[in-house]
Amino acid sequence: AFVNAASEVLGIGSEQCGDLMEEMAKETDNMRALLELPRGEIRSPADIEVEVRERVAELTLAISLENQRMAEQQEDLMQRAITDALTGVGNRAAFDARMSLELQRLVRSGAPLALLMMDVDEFKAFNDTYGHQAGDRVLQTIAHVLDANIRAVDYLARYGGEEFALVAPDTSADGVF
């Protein structure tokens, strides 16, 4: 009887009306599941709206927190990609990128640029005598001392093995030492 009355009001056939009602019931169940609303309760539209707004706020907060976590993770990964894991200073790839930028700046502006390449003498012999862990501590200490004694505009990187590179913009050869 309801389907017949609804089909008359809507101006469609009763079979079409039944199909429409089935589709509406499915969509209602989908929305109820999505919003985690209990089944079978009859509530006012205002109550449902309040509950929907609360759930949307919860989901928005969860998405915001997840976005923040992912941004922090991305920042961490980007930092790891340019940092030497042992010494904490720039790595070779980061040095190459920085040096390229500084050379472009040098060509453009003509400002002086100093590059210091440093190698730890007798490092292999030290490693062979005292072990790689001791050698690692030496490299970490050297990197820390160098990094603590350069300007903010300078760039220190582990070039490879026991080699370090220091890029010092706006510095002439006389100003390095």
- Nearest alpha carbon to residue 16 among 27, 30, 26, 6: 6
Q: Among positive and negative, which fits the CA dihedral 72, 74, 75, 81?
A: positive
Active site residue 162: yes
In the β-sheet with 155-160, what is the strand arrangement from edge to edge?
A: 113-119, 163-169, 155-160
Own/partner contacts of 123-130, CB < 8 Å, gap of 24 or more, are 123/161, 123/162
b/e per residue 91-114 (b: at least 16 CB within 10 A): beebbeebbeebeeeeeeeeeebb
- Nearest alpha carbon to residue 112 among 39, 42, 168: 168
Annotated catalytic residue, options 8, 51, 162, 163: 162
Residue 31: strand pairing partners? none
Interacting residues of 108 by C-beta distance below 8 A, sequence separation 6+: none
Catalytic sites, residue numbers: 162
